[in-house]
Amino acid sequence: MLREAWTIAIETMSWMELRRLNERSALMRTTTQLGIKDAGAIRLAYGLVIETTRRKNLIDKFINTVITPKKIGEYNQGIQAFLRLYVYQTRVAKNWGKIHLKEAESIASLGRSILGWQTLREVELCLGFLLTRQLAPIMEGASETERIALETYHPLWFVEYCTKLFGKEEAIAFLKGSLNPPPTYIRINTLAVSEEEILEKLVAEGIKFEKAEPLNHTYKILGLKTPLNMSPSLKSGLLYVQDKASCFAVQTANPSPGNTVFDVCAAPGAKTTFLAQLMENHGDIVSVDFSTKRMRTWQMETKRMGAKIAEPMVADARVSVPIVDEADLVVLDPPCTSSGVFAKQPSAKWRLSPKSIANMSGIQQQMINNCAEKIKVGGTLIYSTCSVTLEENEGVVGQFLKEHSDFRLTKITPEFGSPGLANLTECRRLYPHIHHCNGFFIAKLQKV
């Protein structure tokens, strides 16, 4: 199993570098390509990939001090992946402490068998130095900002950005809070049976939970007897695994039975199925997404959760929302830089740049403007992202309000989270280190 796990991990990280794929997409491509179905090997490989990728800047800087004058990026993808995984497993996972020589020799042997001894020979002499080199001199030689970047495993420019946005102390707290994935949350599906009945079933399955106040139908998982994806309740549509920040965004929308709702950027279906639940399956939901592949997942999820009032539409909301009718409610969760979910998707922070923030906010502006055209007078527009940047959130909403005098911000209830920035205090922000969920932004606008 160990050889299979390391083979998957090396190949997955190679695809991530080569095609700029996220962890899950690269893992799926790799396991399909290699034909490996061992669940244990896949889980081990995924853990190695996630934790190595999370610390990529520190690991690369450490490696570069050993292989100088070359840089790690000058080697082929297989060697790059192996060196990073080797340093993670032999040094980082041991907290840079005691050296386990036999384990290191075993990993080197795995590298030879997977990559070929001729390929690995180019860096094999470096493995011993990587095993004994101390981290302290590297940290001592760094500037204060670089040291924060290395200690919190974030790009230097993003540390500078967060410091300017939040202040130094709060920025460090946020960056540290973005290292560990938040708790798992579930939403109880009352379209199936009553909440009480579902909770009884969860107890019988050995699932421990507590209410995620002040949200409705939302619970934090405290303990499991078996993996959640094996739960009969999950498979039968009695619950949906959904972060509480996402649940809060839909609860903020507060749809009523009989409403006409447009769910824009709807796949894979978390928002649609919760909207249908709150509407008690009375009314109409049109779910729009540009991806045919993702909408196939949406169809499976809406069927599993019993959301009978939702209809799919494949369209690009950057161009238009091609629906003739007007809606009582439009929920827009556009593509974003995902800077609020770096704990779950660490590869995203290494793909991110200031330019990508600007590009993404331009796309979001197009989408929110197109959505505004589809709302009845008195209707509501919910805008949310899983990003913490100012440009994608208050920047988009502020510009929207300047261009649309017929919309105004309204207060969000329940009053959960932190106030928005840039004087848009009616908006709400959620942070991993404060609210123990994904980083999130929500704005509620009414057409008057």
Query: pLDDT tens-digit profile of 111-151?
Result: 999 999 899 999 999 999 999 999 999 999 999 999 999 99
Tell me the two tokens of residue 125: 């002499």
- Specify whether the CB–CB gap between 78 and 10 falls below 8 A: yes
Tokens in use for 64? 């570069």
Letter for the amino acid at 352? L
Query: What DSSP character marks residue 436?
Result: S
Write out the residue limits of the CATH 1.10.940.10 domain(s) in the chain.
2-140
Task: Give the pLDDT confidence score for residue 108 in this predicted structure.
Answer: 95
In the chain, which segments carry CATH 3.40.50.150?
252-447
Q: Are 111 and 68 in contact (CB under 8 A)?
A: no
pLDDT of 314 reads 97
The one catalytic residue in 162, 336, 371, 386 is 386
> 344-397 pLDDT, tens per residue?
999 999 999 999 999 999 999 999 999 999 999 999 999 999 999 999 999 999
User: What integer pLDDT is reported at residue 48 of this predicted model?
Assistant: 97
Q: Which tens digit of pLDDT belongs to each residue from 390-410?
A: 999 999 999 999 999 999 999
Q: What is the pLDDT of residues 178-228, one digit of tens each?
A: 999 999 999 999 999 999 999 999 999 999 999 999 999 999 999 999 999
Please check whether residue 75 is in contact with residue 116, taking contact to mean a CB–CB distance below 8 angstroms: no
pLDDT in tens, 256-295: 999 999 999 999 999 999 999 999 999 999 999 999 999 9
Instruction: Return the exposure string of 226-258: e unless at least 16 CB atoms fall within 10 Å of the residue's CB, then b.
Output: eeeeebebbeebbbbebbbbbbbbbbbbebeee
CA 169 to chain centre: 24
Please give the pLDDT value at position 445. 98
Share the mean pLDDT of the chain: 96
pLDDT at 152 over 90: yes
- Amino acid code (one letter) for 180: N
Q: Does residue 427 contact residue 443 with C-beta atoms inside 8 Å?
A: yes
Closest CA to 253 of 401, 446, 448: 446
336 is catalytic: no
CATH code of domain 252-447 = 3.40.50.150
Q: Which class is domain 2-140?
A: mainly alpha
DSSP per-residue letters across 334-383: -----TT-TTT-THHHHH--HHHHHHHHHHHHHHHHHHHTTEEEEEEEEE
pLDDT of residue 1 exceeding 90:
no
Rounded CA separation 258/261 (Å): 9
**pLDDT tens-digit profile of 302-329?**
999 999 999 999 999 999 999 999 999 9
Over residues 428-443, mean pLDDT: 98
Token representation of residue 143: 């500037």
